[in-house]
């Protein structure tokens, strides 16, 4: 036998030389939940994550940054009394997100601060867009009216100092509209990371618990994508690229590795993938039961997402994984 592939696996040194993919803290974007209170709160639906106070946010983001994590993305838990059908709180300059962005950029100027652009945390209906009830009682998620609202929200985040705005709403035409709004207002340096291929996924359940943002009625299937489709993801990515997106995203990540690989081949833009709340909790709960080695499985899952073609990964493990990779 002349050919023995095991020679390339015989020692840690050889394995390091032949490794085709690497994982490092600089690949991670850390999603952080924030709320009005002064206490850091545990999240019942997402053990291991917290709803951070402003002070807690600055500390947690600072620690992650010191470990080499380059970016955070903010998700606000907005109190019920601020939620309205028009979601106006989404562009309140003194709201939770703009306040947090200003504080983060002041405390950690080199940290990249990303904001989520969508109406679900602010909208009394719990949908990413504005909702209109039809005569037959069904709900229509209004596209063009929502896009106008998203532009105001993105502008508000840019004014607060966000480095990147990240539309996660899946309305048609929002990337071009937001790009235009930012450019017209002198924010041509603010980037757009578009959730281009965001699927209507059951893996988001725990996240909606964390923000108390589940739709009050109906589902998100008329705007988020059908898990059956991949051609449609390429179409969305192509459109977002044409509309001026700087980076595109596939979400969820683990069950959609084929989509990540196809998107990677279809664009030269940087590709992000979101390891969402349900993916995180499947690992956490199995590890808590003693059924798997949580740390090893988390790192292997992140490596798989990277190997599929993601340049960056949004993950609730960002800080912990950065620590593990140091050891």
Least distance to ligand PBG, CB of residue 11, Å: 39
Helices (H), 161-252: 174-184, 205-211, 231-243
Segment interacting with ligand PBG (CB under 6 A) among 9-17, 201-209, 228-236, 289-297:
201-209
Q: Is 116 in the site for ligand PBG (CB under 6 A)?
A: yes
Segment interacting with ligand PBG (CB under 6 A) among 5-13, 113-121, 175-183, 255-263:
113-121
Q: For Cα atoms 248, 253, 259, give the angle at the middle one, nearest 5 degrees.
A: 65
Which listed residue (50, 198, 306, 319) is catalytic? 198
Q: Are 322 and 62 in contact (CB under 8 A)?
A: no
How far is residue 155's CA from residue 91's CA, in Å, rounded to a whole number?
A: 8
How far is residue 71's CA from residue 27's CA, in Å, rounded to a whole number?
A: 9
Q: Is 315 in the site for ligand PBG (CB under 6 A)?
A: no
Q: Is 168 in the site for ligand PBG (CB under 6 A)?
A: yes
Q: Please list, in sequence order, all residues whose beta carbon lies within 8 angstroms of the beta carbon of residue 287, skipping any fewer than 6 positions away.
A: 293, 294, 295, 297
Segment interacting with ligand PBG (CB under 6 A) among 129-137, 153-161, 174-182, 203-211:
203-211
Q: Is 198 a catalytic residue?
A: yes
User: Judged by CB, which is closer to ligand PBG: 196, or 277?
Assistant: 277
Binds ligand PBG (CB under 6 A): choice among 120, 240, 241, 284 = 120
Binds ligand PBG (CB under 6 A): choice among 128, 163, 181, 241 = 128
Nearest to residue 227, comparing CAs of 203, 199, 248?
199
How far is residue 251's CA from residue 7's CA, in Å, rounded to a whole number?
A: 37
How far is residue 145's CA from residue 142's CA, in Å, rounded to a whole number?
A: 6
The alpha-carbon radius of gyration of the chain (Å, integer) is: 20
Least distance to ligand PBG, CB of residue 260, Å: 16
Q: Is 208 in the site for ligand PBG (CB under 6 A)?
A: yes
Least distance to ligand PBG, CB of residue 326, Å: 25
Tokens in use for 105? 């950029």
Least distance to ligand PBG, CB of residue 31, Å: 7
**Per CB under 6 A, which of residues 31..70 are in contact with ligand PBG?**
none
How far is residue 181's CA from residue 186's CA, in Å, rounded to a whole number?
A: 9
Which listed residue (50, 83, 220, 251) is catalytic? 251
User: Judged by CB, which is closer to ligand PBG: 170, or 237?
Assistant: 170
Least distance to ligand PBG, CB of residue 13, Å: 38
Q: Is 216 a catalytic residue?
A: no
User: Judged by CB, which is closer to ligand PBG: 185, or 209?
Assistant: 209
CB 94: neighbour CB atoms within 10 A?
Answer: 9
User: Judged by CB, which is closer to ligand PBG: 4, or 170?
Assistant: 170
**Per CB under 6 A, which of residues 273..302 are in contact with ligand PBG?**
276-277
**Cis-peptide into 252, omega within 30 deg:** yes
Question: Token match 């709403």: residue?
Answer: 169
**Cis-peptide into 321, omega within 30 deg:** no
Question: Token match 């562009």: residue?
Answer: 91
CB 303: neighbour CB atoms within 10 A?
Answer: 16
User: Judged by CB, which is closer to ligand PBG: 103, or 281?
Assistant: 281
Q: Is 243 in the site for ligand PBG (CB under 6 A)?
A: no
User: Judged by CB, which is closer to ligand PBG: 107, or 139?
Assistant: 139
Residues that bind ligand PBG (CB under 6 A): 116, 118, 120, 128, 168, 204, 207-208, 220, 276-277
Catalytic residues: 198, 251
């Amino acid at each position: 036998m002349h050919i023995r592939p095991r020679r390339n696996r015989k020692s840690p040194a050889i394995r390091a030389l032949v490794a085709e993919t690497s994982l490092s803290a600089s690949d991670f974007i850390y999603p952080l939940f924030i709320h009005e209170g002064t206490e850091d709160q545990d999240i019942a639906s997402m053990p291991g994550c917290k709803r951070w106070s402003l002070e807690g946010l600055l500390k947690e983001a600072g620690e992650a940054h010191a470990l080499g994590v380059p970016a955070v993305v903010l998700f606000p838990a907005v109190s019920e009394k601020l939620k309205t059908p028009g979601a106006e709180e989404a562009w309140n300059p003194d709201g939770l997100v703009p306040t947090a962005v200003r504080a983060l950029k002041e405390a950690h100027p080199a940290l990249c601060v990303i904001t989520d652009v969508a109406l679900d945390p602010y909208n009394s209906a719990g949908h990413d867009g504005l909702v209109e009830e039809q005569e037959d009682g069904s709900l229509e998620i209004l596209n063009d009216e929502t896009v106008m609202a998203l532009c105001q929200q993105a502008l508000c985040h840019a004014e607060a100092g966000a480095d990147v705005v990240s539309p996660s709403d899946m309305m048609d035409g929002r990337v071009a509209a937001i790009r235009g709004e930012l450019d017209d207002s002198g924010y041509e340096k603010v980037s757009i990371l578009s959730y281009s291929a965001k699927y209507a996924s059951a893996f988001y359940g725990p996240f909606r618990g964390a923000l108390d943002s589940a739709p009050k009625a109906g589902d998100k299937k008329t705007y988020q994508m059908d898990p059956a489709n991949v051609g449609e993801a390429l179409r969305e990515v192509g459109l977002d690229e044409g509309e001026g997106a700087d980076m595109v995203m596939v979400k969820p990540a683990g069950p959609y590795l084929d989509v990540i690989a196809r998107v990677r081949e279809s664009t030269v833009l940087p590709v992000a993938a979101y390891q969402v709340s349900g993916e995180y909790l499947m690992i956490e709960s199995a590890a808590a039961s003693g059924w798997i080695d949580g740390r090893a499985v988390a790192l292997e899952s992140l490596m798989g997402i990277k190997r599929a073609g993601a340049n960056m990964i949004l993950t609730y493990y960002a800080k912990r994984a950065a620590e593990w990779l140091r050891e």
